[in-house]
């Protein structure tokens, strides 16, 4: 069985690296990383990952704008998107629940259970 491929789009290098290590070690994922929404759009279209882990708070193009552009592109429209956010107010959670996302994972997340969380979401 080949590893599933996941694209992490996050502007914070330490979060990208920690998440990548956790997913590669605990979940046997092939991880692709992008440090901005723009880079993420290009990599998502080129690499066709099985899922995208997308940070909401990013400079330049934020996660919601990135997600909108991923959905508008027929090459990336079907890829499940899991949002990563530190924002967890109930109003924002309601707003996120209206979106076409596979899941919402709040930061800080448990790096050891992240892979299982993602696998569970994609199995639905």
At 9, which CATH number?
3.40.50.2300
Residue 28 domain-assigned?
yes
Residue 16 domain-assigned?
yes
**Per-residue confidence (pLDDT) for residue 70, from 0 to 100:** 97
**Per-residue confidence (pLDDT) for residue 11, from 0 to 100:** 95
Helix, strand or coil, per DSSP, at residue 97: helix
**Per-residue confidence (pLDDT) for residue 19, from 0 to 100:** 92
Structurally, the chain folds into a number of domains equal to 1
Mean pLDDT by 10 residues, the chain (124 residues): 88 93 88 97 97 94 95 97 81 75 87 87 86
Tokens of 17: 């690296």
Q: Is 20 left (phi over 0), alpha (psi -120 to 50) or beta?
A: alpha
Contacts of 73 (CB under 8 A, 6+ apart): 41, 45
Residue 122 domain-assigned?
no
- DSSP per position, 29-59: -EEEEESSHHHHHHHHHHH--SEEEEES--S
Residue 93 domain-assigned?
yes
**Per-residue confidence (pLDDT) for residue 87, from 0 to 100:** 66
Q: Provide the domain limits for residue 70.
A: 5-117
* pTM metric for this prediction: 0.91
Residue 124 domain-assigned?
no
- What confidence tens digit (pLDDT) does each residue in 53-88 have? 999 999 999 999 999 999 999 999 999 999 988 866
């Amino acid at each position: 069985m080949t590893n599933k491929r996941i694209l992490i789009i996050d502007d914070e290098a330490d979060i990208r690296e920690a998440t990548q290590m956790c997913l590669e070690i605990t979940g046997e994922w092939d991880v692709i990383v992008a440090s901005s929404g723009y880079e993420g759009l290009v990599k998502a279209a080129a690499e066709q990952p099985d899922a995208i882990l997308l940070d909401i708070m990013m400079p330049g193009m934020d996660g919601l704008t990135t997600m909108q552009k991923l959905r508008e592109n027929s090459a990336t429209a079907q890829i499940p998107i899991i949002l990563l956010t530190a924002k967890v107010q109930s109003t924002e959670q309601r707003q996120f629940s209206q979106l076409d996302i596979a899941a919402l994972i709040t930061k800080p997340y448990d790096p050891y259970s992240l892979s299982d969380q993602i696998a569970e979401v994609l199995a639905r």
